[in-house]
C-alpha cells in the first residue's frame, strides 16, 4: 500500500510553528495513546529544542491501560513530562496543569528573581491531525472561562486561550502531518482512521488488522463476531462477512464491507481498549 502525504502543507505548518515557538515556554505535544510512537512527529523535537516538553497520551480511554503505563515510563525515561488524558471527558486535566507548573519551575524562578510575579506560562499545543488537539484545548481551557484576546506588542497579535491566570494556550494548535519511513507506521495510522480511506485498500488493511488481533488480542474476534479465529486472515474476514451478512450478489461475501465494519468497530471502541504498539515493539509487532 502506498501512503501519500502533502509536503507543501507540511512546510507551511512548520514555518508557522517556528514563528510561534519564540513566544512559548512549553510545548504540549499530543499523541494518540494507542500509537504513541507512530503518531509522534519527530520534527517537534527539533522545533521545540530549547523548550520544556510535555507529552500527552490522549484518547487513553481507547488504549490498553497496561501498555499505556509502559509508554508513560518510556517517555519519562527520555526526559519528557508525561500525562495520560481523555480529552473528550476532560479526565486528566488537573494532572496536566500540575505537570506544566513542574516543567516550567525554572522559568517561574527566573521571573521571581527579576521581580516579575504571576506572569502566565505560555504553551503551544501540537500534534498530527485528528489526535484530539481541539478537544484538548476546549477541555483544558474550559468553556466558561475560555477567553481569547489580543496582546499586541507582547504576543505580536497572537490569540491566547486565557483559561486561568497561570497557563495560556496559543489559540491555534500546531498541526504537523505524520511522518513515516516504514509501512508499519502508516498501517497503524490507517487503522486508527488518521489516513483518508479513499486512498487505501480497505480489504488489505482489515486483513492486516485481523492478523494483528489474532496475534496480539486472541479471543477478541470470536467474542465480537462469534467466528472461529484459527486460519489465515482472509479466511477470518470471510467468516466475519458471513456472520454479519456482508453479502454481494450471488451469495458472495463482500469482504470490503466486512473490513470497513471491523475497522469501524475498532475506532468506536466496540472491540474494547486495544493498543497497536508497545514500547518494545515500536517498529514491528
Positions touching ligand G4P (CB under 6 A) are 58-59, 61-62, 86-88, 127, 129-135
Nearer to ligand G4P, 34 or 158 (CB): 34
Distance CA 170, CA 181 (A): 30
Helices (H), 86-171: 93-103, 105-113, 133-141
| H or E stretch covering 122 | strand 121-127
Least gap, CB of 252 to ligand G4P (angstroms): 32
Other beta carbons within 10 angstroms of residue 132's beta carbon come to 21
**Under 8 Å between Cβ of 76 and 84:** no
Cα–Cα distance between 178 and 167 in angstroms, integer? 27
- CB-wise, 86 or 206, nearer to ligand G4P? 86
Q: State in angstroms the smallest separation of the CB of 59 from ligand G4P.
A: 4
Considering the complex, what minimum distance in angstroms separates the CB of residue 29 from ligand G4P? 12
- Quote the least distance from Cβ 248 to ligand G4P, whole Å: 29
Considering the complex, what minimum distance in angstroms separates the CB of residue 86 from ligand G4P?
Answer: 4
Helix, coil or strand: residue 247: strand
CB nearer ligand G4P, residue 137 or residue 240: 137
Nearer to ligand G4P, 48 or 104 (CB): 48
d(CA 65, CA 235): 30
Q: To the nearest whole angstrom, how small is the minimum distance from the Cβ of residue 13 to ligand G4P? A: 12
Cell digits of residue 146: 475560555
- Of 111 and 180, CB closest to ligand G4P: 180
Q: How far out from the chain centre does Cα 65 lie?
A: 15
Q: Which is nearer to ligand G4P, 132 or 227 (CB)?
A: 132
Q: Rounded to 5 degrees, what are φ and ψ at 169?
A: -100, 135
Residue 248 Cα to chain centre, angstroms: 36
Give CA–CA dist 93/100, Å, rounded: 11
Amino acid at each position: 500500500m502506498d501512503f501519500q502525504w502533502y509536503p507543501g502543507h507540511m512546510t507551511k505548518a512548520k514555518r508557522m510553528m517556528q514563528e510561534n515557538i519564540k513566544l512559548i515556554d512549553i510545548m504540549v505535544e499530543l499523541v494518540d495513546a494507542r500509537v504513541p510512537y507512530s503518531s509522534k512527529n519527530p520534527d517537534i523535537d527539533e522545533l521545540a529544542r530549547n523548550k520544556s516538553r510535555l507529552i500527552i497520551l490522549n484518547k487513553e480511554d481507547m488504549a490498553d491501560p497496561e501498555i499505556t503505563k509502559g509508554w508513560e515510563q518510556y517517555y519519562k525515561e527520555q526526559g519528557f513530562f508525561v500525562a495520560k488524558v481523555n480529552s473528550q471527558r476532560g479526565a486528566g486535566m488537573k494532572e496536566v496543569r500540575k505537570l506544566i507548573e513542574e516543567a516550567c519551575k525554572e522559568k517561574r524562578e527566573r521571573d521571581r528573581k527579576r521581580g516579575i510575579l504571576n506572569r502566565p506560562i505560555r504553551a503551544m499545543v501540537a500534534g498530527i491531525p485528528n489526535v484530539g488537539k481541539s478537544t484538548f484545548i476546549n477541555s483544558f481551557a474550559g468553556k466558561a472561562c475560555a477567553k481569547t484576546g489580543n496582546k499586541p506588542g507582547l504576543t505580536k497579535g497572537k490569540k491566547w486561550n486565557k483559561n486561568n491566570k497561570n497557563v495560556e494556550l496559543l489559540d491555534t494548535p500546531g498541526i504537523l502531518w505524520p511522518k513515516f519511513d516504514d509501512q508499519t507506521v502508516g498501517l497503524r495510522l490507517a487503522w486508527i482512521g488518521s489516513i483518508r480511506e479513499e486512498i487505501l485498500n480497505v480489504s488489505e488493511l482489515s486483513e492486516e488488522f485481523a492478523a494483528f488481533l489474532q496475534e496480539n488480542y486472541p479471543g477478541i474476534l470470536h467474542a465480537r463476531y462469534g467466528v472461529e479465529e484459527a486460519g489465515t486472515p482472509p479466511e477470518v474476514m470471510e467468516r466475519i462477512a458471513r456472520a454479519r451478512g456482508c453479502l454481494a450478489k450471488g451469495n458472495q461475501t463482500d469482504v470490503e464491507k466486512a473490513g470497513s465494519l471491523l475497522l469501524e468497530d475498532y475506532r468506536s471502541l466496540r472491540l474494547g481498549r486495544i493498543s497497536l504498539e508497545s514500547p518494545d515493539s515500536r517498529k514491528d509487532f
